[in-house]
């Protein structure tokens, strides 16, 4: 731990060698962590690079006590942010559609049941909330695009999506919640 504190101190003093040592020591570990969550090489590379760019740019402002924990937490939050953005949902939907199951008939029935449960849960949402949720999750519009399209404030759109996600989570069992999270990246 002491060597990390020394490297952090040198980093604050604009020492590129210290930055390089931190980068070399942690890049692969952070990448593997991100990849285990997202399974997308390009996105994981971008996330890890962004974390190191941010570390360099904020080297004078940020007080870091535990460098490994700080970097791991940064990767975790960037991965969650990426998942919440909905950009990953289409990728997972495409992967699910490409999977060839051993027992396709049974698996198709489970998939259809899941879609029925999802549709019923979405249909129970208030009309405007349904519309906003569908634009966000199925048409992959950003919050701002939805707000502009519907003539609503950005905060209203965020509130409605949050409300929809809360209601959907509470209307399905734990197992189905996990499957929905994989499919919709709630």
Could you give the residue range(s) of every CATH 1.10.1740.10 domain in the chain?
Answer: 2-84
- Distance, CA of 144 to CA of 132 (rounded, Å): 11
What per-residue confidence (pLDDT) applies to 127?
A: 92
What per-residue confidence (pLDDT) applies to 79?
A: 82
Quick one: tokens of 45? 């590379």
Helix, strand, or coil (residue 59): coil
Which CATH class name applies to 89-184? mainly alpha
Which CATH class name applies to 2-84? mainly alpha
Q: Write the CA distances from 47 to 5, 56, 62, 73, integer angstroms.
A: 24, 14, 19, 12
Q: Write the CA distances from 35 to 31, 43, 45, 51, integer angstroms.
A: 6, 9, 9, 15
What per-residue confidence (pLDDT) applies to 103?
A: 44
Could you give the residue range(s) of every CATH 1.10.10.10 domain in the chain?
Answer: 89-184
Structure-token match 């390009």, residue found: 42
What per-residue confidence (pLDDT) applies to 100?
A: 43
Is the pTM here over 0.85, yes or no? no
Residue-by-residue pLDDT tens, the chain, 186 positions: 457 788 888 989 989 899 999 999 999 999 998 888 888 888 899 999 999 999 999 888 888 888 888 898 898 888 878 877 765 555 555 554 554 444 455 556 666 766 777 777 788 889 999 899 889 888 888 999 999 999 999 999 999 988 888 877 776 554 455 555 555 544
What per-residue confidence (pLDDT) applies to 186?
A: 41
């Amino acid at each position: 731990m002491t060597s990390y504190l020394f490297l952090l101190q040198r980093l604050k003093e604009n020492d590129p060698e210290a930055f390089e040592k931190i980068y070399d020591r942690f890049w692969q570990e952070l990448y593997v962590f991100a990849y285990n969550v997202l399974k997308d090489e390009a996105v994981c590379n971008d996330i890890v690079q962004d974390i190191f760019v941010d570390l360099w740019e904020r080297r004078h402002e940020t007080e870091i006590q535990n460098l490994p924990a700080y970097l791991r937490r940064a990767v975790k939050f960037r991965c969650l942010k990426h998942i919440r953005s909905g950009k990953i949902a289409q990728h997972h939907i495409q992967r699910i559609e490409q999977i060839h199951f051993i027992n396709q008939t049974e698996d198709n029935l489970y998939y259809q049941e899941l879609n029925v449960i999802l549709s019923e849960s979405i249909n129970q949402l208030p009309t405007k909330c349904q519309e906003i949720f569908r634009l966000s999750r199925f048409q992959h519009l950003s919050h701002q695009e939805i707000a502009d399209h519907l003539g609503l404030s950005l905060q209203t759109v965020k509130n409605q999506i949050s409300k929809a996600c809360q209601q959907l989570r509470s209307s399905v069992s734990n197992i189905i919640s996990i499957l929905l999270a994989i499919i919709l990246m709630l």
